[in-house]
Structure 1
Amino acid sequence: MEILLWLVPPAVVTLLAMAWVSWLGREGRGEVDRDEAVRRMGTALGKDHPGARYARPVMVRDRSTGIAVRPSSRPSSEPSSERSTTRRAS
């Protein structure tokens, strides 16, 4: 039990911090009347936001083939029939 005595000071500090934060956040501090809040929200919604002008580019997704390694994007210089005969001859 004596080993856990070092936990007492941090627990007291934590409880004091929790009480202080709850006192700061209590209702009624910095409250704006309803008409003023509605006016501010109307002004904010009426602004022209820069992100609304440009559409996000469409992402082109690769077709899933079930293969872990993607095929190369370079076109092959040999036709497929020549490749298969060359492989067999070797």
Structure 2
Amino acid sequence: MNPTVAVFGILRFPPERVVEALPHLKQLVKETYRNDGCIAYDVAEDPFDPGLIRFSELWPDKESLDRHLQAPHIEPWRAAARSCGLLERKFTA
């Protein structure tokens, strides 16, 4: 399947709280692969900017991405991220 939508973004946490956020992020990615039709979801902490997590996603179409953003596992992830001190969230598709 050829992806038609690419998403690139960042999440910023206080550096000392990243380790607390990672299990929640891992669960998000797992659920996204399992339920939402995501082709690729890559996540990494920036080695030069502590607390900055970069992510990229590939989706088969805009409709799949739109459904993902409304999926049942998204709000629990957002709540967990806030509880881990999320400072910034930006992405572009």
TM-score bracket relative to the smaller structure? under 0.3
Choose 1 or 2 for highest CA Rg.
Answer: 1
TM-score by length of structure 1 reads 0.22
- Could you say which structure has the higher helix fraction? 1
- Could you say which structure has the higher strand fraction? 2
